[in-house]
Amino acid sequence: MKQVNFPLFATFCQKFGAQVQSMHSERDDETYLFINNSDIRDIAEYLRGEFEARLVTVFAEDRCSTDGVFFNYYVFEQNDNPQYLIVRAPVSADDPRFPSLSAELPAVNWQEREIQDWFGLTATGHPNPRRVALHDNWPDVHPLRKDFPVDTVLAPFEGERHIYRPALGEGVFQVPVGPVHAGTIEPGHFSFAVAGEPILYLQLRMFYTHKGTEKLFERLPIHKAVFLAESVSGDSSFSHGTAFCQAIERAAEIQLPLRALIMRTILLELERICNHVADIGAIANDVGFVVANAHATRLKEMLFANNEQLAGNRLLRGMVCVGGIRRAWRAWQVDSLCDTVKAFAREFQDLVALINSSESTRDRLDHTGILKPKIAKDLGIVGVAGRASGIDLDVRRDHPYAAYRQYPFQVPVYQAGDVWHRMQVRIDEVKESLSIITRATDQDLNGEFRISVPPIPRNRCALSAVEGWRGEIIHWIRTGADNRLERCKIKDPSLNNWPAVVEAVQGNIIADFPVINKSFNLSYSGTDR
């Protein structure tokens, strides 16, 4: 056991008395508080009020066969404290209800509703208890319960998938977009209520392509489950793969060699730059600045070609593994990476100057799609979208992993919360990422890059966080027998951030929706899982 460092824990125990069952910390930055009932409302209010703690995520676990109950987990973090506090609350299998926090904490709205859909636990007092992950025409099943076989074949669905709030009022019209879209993006339904061109409100419907990812983890050996983690969201494959591997390594107390940590850092930053420069070009393209998009696409291609040299594929799949990195780099590969980064940095400055020189582009993006800081905080927005709206969070700095402690960097934070500043966050982060890669490749990359992994002990829990290019990625695991998992919870930043799109589009014209949506660039796959 490690020492519990969350501030004033003695006071905390004294305040809640018999409700606190036990506390322990397996690792320096991960403390568990076990309570003896499902009502966490007073504890959450105390943590948020006294410590200004943020509720990072909420998820459930079926432990009926071993403990006779379900468990809900509430993950809190406090500014300037690297330790996560994870509160575990039992939910009776005979009376599967728990008090909802969503009325006071809109950030957990979808997450509590996911618990209802996947596990059949009722969030009492939820302001909008409709299904979110299961569509309305699904039968009454709860796929993440242990007694639900993964190979279950459901009967054909009948009836309405989702009934939208009607657009009422003289001159108010409903404009449906999707769920099938032009291009290669995945399905998601947007239903606009408009009066003329201005958008009055937007309704979203996701989870059209739910893949059962969290359930699939339960039937795979850990060494194969890494590839499943990489498939959560294709453009974030290395980030999700790293988050998963870190969780396993933390549970098994595996210490990685420095070279592996540095290589992971470089690959994570390459993934960030590839996606950021693509988004910068796509945002310009959505307001008609095609030339800027052409330059950005060319820069992205430079990096993709380099990725293929380093990893054998353009999206960095198959490189991360439990215990480090799968393949070493030869000297010529590192030299080629350094040359590519230098050339990219020069030409990226030209791209930024080109965009800044276009007054028409600035006019379209400035004050468009504003997400106010107060709303962003209430909704728990993370990543690029959060930092453009005053949310000063970055897992690389706040909970360092890989080799980030060795490479200090600046986290760009703005208050305006519009499309222009979401693009500016990307620009600033590309520059910081280039600096991190340059410093990392200056170090000696010779030496051990992977260690052998012993059998993973069963019944170990671990939380892993990674700052993906969209924002905070969370993986929580419980290990099982025979090098398999009992549970793997995944939270992609898109699950947090879709409600922000609803707020950002209000009052804008419908023609600006594509660029507003692109400035968030959220993952359907990461949401649906």
Contacts of 132 (CB under 8 A, 6+ apart): 110, 113, 114, 117, 206, 207
- Tally the C-alpha atoms within 13 A of residue 426's C-alpha that lie toward its C-beta: 32
Distance of CA 442 to the CA centre of its chain: 30
φ, ψ of residue 488 in degrees (nearest 5): -135, 110
Each as own residue / partner, the long-range contacts of residues 70-73 (CB below 8 Å, 24 or more positions apart, any chain) are: 70/96, 70/119, 70/121, 72/38, 72/40, 72/98, 72/115, 72/121, 73/476, 73/489
Please give the chain's pLDDT, 529 residues, in tens.
454 555 556 777 788 888 888 888 878 889 999 999 999 999 999 999 888 999 999 999 999 999 999 999 999 998 888 889 999 999 999 999 999 999 999 999 999 999 999 999 999 999 999 999 998 888 889 999 999 988 888 888 887 778 888 888 888 888 888 888 877 778 899 999 998 889 999 999 999 888 889 999 998 999 999 999 999 998 999 999 999 999 999 999 999 999 999 999 999 999 999 999 999 999 999 999 999 999 999 999 999 999 999 999 999 999 999 999 999 999 999 999 999 999 999 999 999 999 999 999 999 999 999 999 999 999 999 999 999 999 999 999 999 999 999 999 999 999 999 999 999 999 999 999 999 999 999 988 888 999 999 889 999 999 999 999 999 999 999 999 999 999 999 999 999 999 999 999 999 999 999 999 999 999 999 998 8
Round to the nearest angstrom and report the end-to-end CA distance of the chain: 34
H helices within 56-181, ranges in order? 64-67, 109-119
Alpha-carbon distance values, 186 to 135, 159, 523 (Å): 16, 22, 9
User: How far apart (Å, rounded) are the C-alpha atoms in residues 373 and 387?
Assistant: 9
SS3 418: coil
Among 245, 248, 250, smallest CA distance to 263 is for: 245
Q: Parallel, antiparallel, or unpaired: how do β-strands 97-99 and 122-124 relate?
A: parallel
φ, ψ of residue 25 in degrees (nearest 5): -135, 110
User: How far apart (Å, rounded) are the C-alpha atoms in residues 473 and 37?
Assistant: 28
- Per the structure block, which two tokens stand in for 78? 């406090």
Domains of the chain: 9-124 (3.30.460.80), 172-205 (no CATH), 213-528 (1.10.645.10)
Among 344, 417, 348, 432, smallest CA distance to 384 is for: 417
pTM: 0.95
- Per the structure block, which two tokens stand in for 394? 């970055």
DSSP annotation string for 308-350: HHHHSSTT-TT-EETTEESS---HHHHHHHHHHHHHHHHHHHH
DSSP state of 113: H
User: How far apart (Å, rounded) are the C-alpha atoms in residues 301 and 130?
Assistant: 43
DSSP state of 220: S
**pLDDT at site 3:** 47
**pLDDT at site 5:** 55
Q: CB burial class (10 A; 0-12, 13-18, 19+) of residue 177? A: middle
- Are 58 and 72 a contacting pair, CB within 8 Å? yes
- Per the structure block, which two tokens stand in for 383? 């990543």
The residue behind tokens 């983690």 is: 229
User: How far apart (Å, rounded) are the C-alpha atoms in residues 244 and 400?
Assistant: 16
**pLDDT at site 15:** 85
**pLDDT at site 423:** 97
